[in-house]
A and B are shown apart, each in its own frame.
Chain A
Amino acid sequence: MKFKRFLKRAGIALSLLLVTLIWLTPMWLTLVASLKSQEDYASTPVWAWPEHLNFQTFGWIIANADISQKIMNSLTIAGGAAIISVTMGFFIAYAISIGRLKYRGTVIAICIVTFALPQESMAFPVFTFTKMIGVYGSMAPVYIALGILGSAFAAYLLQAVMNHFPKELVEAAHIDGASKLQTMFRVVLPVMRPSVATVFLLMFVNAWNEYWFPILLLPERADQPLPMAIAEAFGQPSFTSTGIDPVFASAASILAIIPSVFLYLQFQKALVRGVTLGAN
C-alpha cells in the first residue's frame, strides 16, 4: 500500500518534470546555440551541448551593440516609471483606503479599466504630443507615460493591502495630533514598507519589459532599452527576412535575458507575492 502510494507520487512527479522539461526546451536550445560557432551549429545536433565553447558571438555583440549603455537606458526607464507609479499609487491608495472616501469604488473601477486598456489607444496621441512639444526621442516621455499609466495598477494593488491596515493605529496618531501627511509617513508607510517594495519591484519589471511606448517614442538605437535594442537589432522582421542567424539571435537573446533573470532570482519571493497580490 505504501509502496503503491510512493509509485503514484513518483509517477506524478515524473510527469510534472516532463512538462517542465518541455517548458525549458526553448531556453535550452537558445543557450546551446549561443555558445556554438557557426560551423558547430551547422554540424552538431541542435540540442547538444557545444563541443567547443564559443564566446565570440557574445564578445562581438557586447563590443558592437553597446550593451552597458542599453542597460543604463533600461534602468532609467524602469526606475523612473516605477518611482512615479508607486508615489502616485501610494497617495491614491492612502486616500481611498485609509481616508475611506466615498467614491472609492469608482476610483478602483477606473484604475482597473485603465490598466486593462490597450496602450495603443493612447500611444498615438502621446507620440504626436511629444513631437509637438519637441521632446520626441528622449527617454523622459517614455518613463513619465509609463509611470502615470502604471500608477493605476500600483494604486489598485496598494489599496488592496491598505484595506487591512489597523484603523486604531491611524486613529491613535490623529488623537496624538499628527496631520494626515505625518500619519502617512510616520505610521502607515513604515508598516507598508514590504508591500511598497513589492509593488515597486513589480512596476520596475513591468516597465523593464515594456514595448509599446519605447517602440513608438525611441527611434534612435542609442536611447533604447536593452530588450528592445536587442530585438530591433537581431530579431526584427526586416532582419530575419533577409536570412535568420540562429547563433547571433540566440546569443543576443541570452544577453538581453540575463538582467531579467538576475532580478527574478534576486527578488523571487517579493515578485511572486506582487503577482499574487492582485488575486487575493
Chain B
Amino acid sequence: MTRSARKKRSAYDLFLWIPFGVLITFVGGALLWNIGISTVRWFGYGPIRKFVGFGNYQAVFADQGFWEAFGHAFFFVIPMAVIPTVLGLLLASLIFDFLSTHYASKIATFIRSSLYLPQIIPVMITGIIWRWIIDPEQGSLNILLKSLGLKALALDWTNNPSAATAAMSMVLIWIQLGYCVVIFISGLSRINPYVMEAAHVDGANWFQRFRFISSRELGPEIAVVLLTSVVGALKVFAPVYYVTGGGPDGATNVPSTYSFNAFFGGNRVGYASAVTVLLAILITVVALLLIRVQRTQIRGEE
C-alpha cells in the first residue's frame, strides 16, 4: 500500500472511529456499569451496601413476579407484532389494490394517515387517553358499550386481570397497526405491476394474488416490521406504565415496568439492574436471530 493510499484509508478511519468510538464507549460503558450495579446491594444513594455476586440474579430467578413479567412480554408479542403485521398486510393490500386509482387516492391517504395517527402521538399521551377511556366508572368505553346494550362487555378494565390484559392488547394493536400499514404500502409500490397484471390475466383472484405475490414479495418489509415490533414488544414500557401501571396486582407487568418499580418503588437498584441485564441479553439474542433469519432469506431469494 502506498503512503497516500494509507493516508486515504486513515481519513475514513478517523470519520468512523471518532463518532463510533463515542457511541460504543457510551453503550459499552453503560452496559458494563449496569452489570456492575447488578452484582451489589445498593439503595441507589449513599455507599454501596455489599457485593453479592450473582445474589441479585438468584433473587430475580426465585421471584415469581419476574417470570410472570417475562411471560407477559412474550404474550404481548401477539398484539404488538403478530396481529398488526397480519392485519396490516391485509389492509395495506386492500388499500393499495382497490383505492389507488386517482379518484380514490384521497380516501386512501385519509385512511393511511388516520391509521398512522397513533404513531405520531407521544406514547405517554396515548397512555392517558386510554387510561381514562377504559376507566370502568367514568370512561367512555364502558359508557359507550352500555348505551349500545352490550353491558356484558363493559368489563372492569382496570381491576380485572384478564380484562386489563385485553385492554392493554387493544392499546398495543391500536398503536402498531399504522406503522405496519405504512411500511407495507410503500413495499407494495415496489412490486412490478406487470407481475400482478399477468397473474390477473391468468385468472388469479385477489386473495391468490395477495397470498402468492404480495405477501411473498414483501419479505424484506415483513422482516423489518417483525424485527422492530417483536423487540418493541419485549421491551415495551410506556404504554403499560401509563395505561395500567403494570396492574392490577402485576397482571400486566412487563420486565421494564417490573425493573422500574424495583428501582424507584423498592430502591432495590441492584435487583432492578439484574432484570435489565437479563432483558438486554434476551433482546440481543432475539435481534441477532431475526437479523440472521432475514439474511438467509434474502440470500435464498438471490
Chain A residues with a Cβ under 8 A of chain B = 9, 12-13, 16-17, 19-20, 23-24, 26-27, 29-30, 33, 45-47, 87-89, 91-92, 94-96, 98-99, 101, 107, 109-110, 112-114, 116-118, 120-126, 128-129, 145, 148-149, 151-152, 155, 174, 179-181, 184, 205, 208-209, 211-212, 226-228, 230-231, 234-235, 237, 240, 244, 246, 249-250, 252-253, 256-257, 260-261, 263-264, 268, 272, 275-276, 278-280
Q: Is the CB of B123 within 8 A of A211?
A: yes
B86 proximal to A (CB < 8 A) = no
Of all chain A residues, the one with the shortest Cβ separation from B178 is A23
Q: Is the CB of A24 within 8 A of B117?
A: yes
Say which residue of B131, B228, B277 sits within 8 Å of A249 (CB atoms). Answer: B131
B69 proximal to A (CB < 8 A) = no
Q: Is the CB of B291 within 8 A of A125?
A: no
Task: Report the minimal beta-carbon distance from A246 to chain B, rounded to whole angstroms.
Answer: 5
Binds A, one of B9-17, B57-65, B75-83, B191-199: B9-17
Contacts of B163 in A (CB 8 A): none
Of all chain A residues, the one with the shortest Cβ separation from B225 is A279
Among A101, A122, A263: residue with most chain B CB under 10 A: A122
A246 and B138 alpha carbons, distance in the complex (Å): 8
B111 proximal to A (CB < 8 A) = yes
Contacts of A179 in B (CB 8 A): 11
Of all chain B residues, the one with the shortest Cβ separation from A30 is B129
Residues in B223-244 with C-beta less than 8 Å from chain A:
224-225, 227-228, 231, 234-235, 237-238, 242
Task: Report the minimal beta-carbon distance from B248 to chain A, rounded to whole angstroms.
Answer: 11
Task: Report the minimal beta-carbon distance from B241 to chain A, rounded to whole angstroms.
Answer: 8
Whether A125 touches B30, Cβ cut-off 8 Å, given contacts A16-B95, A246-B139, is yes
A165 and B228 alpha carbons, distance in the complex (Å): 26
Of all chain B residues, the one with the shortest Cβ separation from A74 is B122
Task: Report the minimal beta-carbon distance from A199 to chain B, rounded to whole angstroms.
Answer: 14
B154 proximal to A (CB < 8 A) = no
Whether A120 touches B144, Cβ cut-off 8 Å, given contacts A125-B30, A240-B131, A246-B135, is no
Whether A230 touches B120, Cβ cut-off 8 Å, given contacts A244-B131, A276-B183, is no
Task: Give the size category of B's interface with A.
Answer: 35 or more
Q: Is the CB of B183 within 8 A of A253?
A: no
Chain B 89-126 interface mask (CB, 8 Å, partner A; 1/0): 00100110011000010010011011111101111110
B187 proximal to A (CB < 8 A) = yes
Say which residue of A20, A47, A117, A276 sits within 8 Å of B182 (CB atoms). Answer: A276
B22 proximal to A (CB < 8 A) = yes
A85 and B238 alpha carbons, distance in the complex (Å): 23
Q: Is the CB of A23 within 8 A of B144?
A: no
Q: Is the CB of B242 within 8 A of A124?
A: no
B220 proximal to A (CB < 8 A) = yes
Of all chain A residues, the one with the shortest Cβ separation from B18 is A91
Q: Is the CB of B269 within 8 A of A209?
A: no
Task: Report the minimal beta-carbon distance from B1 to chain A, rounded to whole angstroms.
Answer: 13
Contacts of A17 in B (CB 8 A): 107, 111
6 contacts across the A-B interface (CB closer than 8 A): A45-B143, A88-B23, A124-B37, A240-B135, A263-B120, A279-B224
New A-B pairs, 7, CB < 8 Å, besides A99-B11, A124-B34, A152-B23: A30-B133, A92-B16, A118-B279, A118-B280, A125-B37, A275-B182, A280-B187
A230 and B242 alpha carbons, distance in the complex (Å): 12
B213 proximal to A (CB < 8 A) = no
Contacts of B23 in A (CB 8 A): 88, 92, 114, 148-149, 151-152
Q: Is the CB of A275 within 8 A of B183?
A: yes
Chain B 124-157 interface mask (CB, 8 Å, partner A; 1/0): 1101111111010011100110010000000000
Task: Report the minimal beta-carbon distance from A12 to chain B, rounded to whole angstroms.
Answer: 5
Among B116, B124, B245: residue with most chain A CB under 10 A: B124
The 8 closest A-B pairs by CB, nearest first: A99-B12, A235-B128, A227-B122, A95-B16, A122-B30, A46-B140, A231-B124, A88-B19
Say which residue of B143, B276, B288 sits within 8 Å of A121 (CB atoms). Answer: B276
Say which residue of B147, B186, B242 sits within 8 Å of A279 (CB atoms). Answer: B186
Task: Report the minimal beta-carbon distance from B175 to chain A, rounded to whole angstroms.
Answer: 10
Contacts of A109 in B (CB 8 A): 288, 291
Q: Is the CB of B260 within 8 A of A120?
A: yes
Say which residue of A126, A209, A249, A256 sits within 8 Å of B132 (CB atoms). Answer: A249
